[in-house]
Amino acid sequence: DDEGEIVRLRLRQVTAENLELQKKLIASQRELQVELATSNNMAKTLTAQQDENIKLKEELLFYKNMTKR
């Protein structure tokens, strides 16, 4: 009957929409994983640069103190 056909048509539409949304979700999750990995790498690099900066400041202070004598 017509009502059953309408329900089946709507079911196909909703199923297709669901598949598209699942694809978008997967793509967004992958993008988030890449962004998180990039963020973690940047944080590690920043920490290393900060450590190097502290070391260089300590060396500079040492040499400044040496020249004051």
Tens of pLDDT, residues 5-63: 999 999 999 999 999 999 999 999 999 999 999 999 999 999 999 999 999 999 999 99
Q: Comparing C-alpha atoms, which of 41, 42, 39, 20 is closest to residue 31?
A: 39
Q: What is the DSSP letter of 1?
A: -
Residue 69 has pLDDT above 80, yes or no: no
Give the C-alpha separation, 40 to 23, whole Å.
26
Give the C-alpha separation, 11 to 4, whole Å.
10
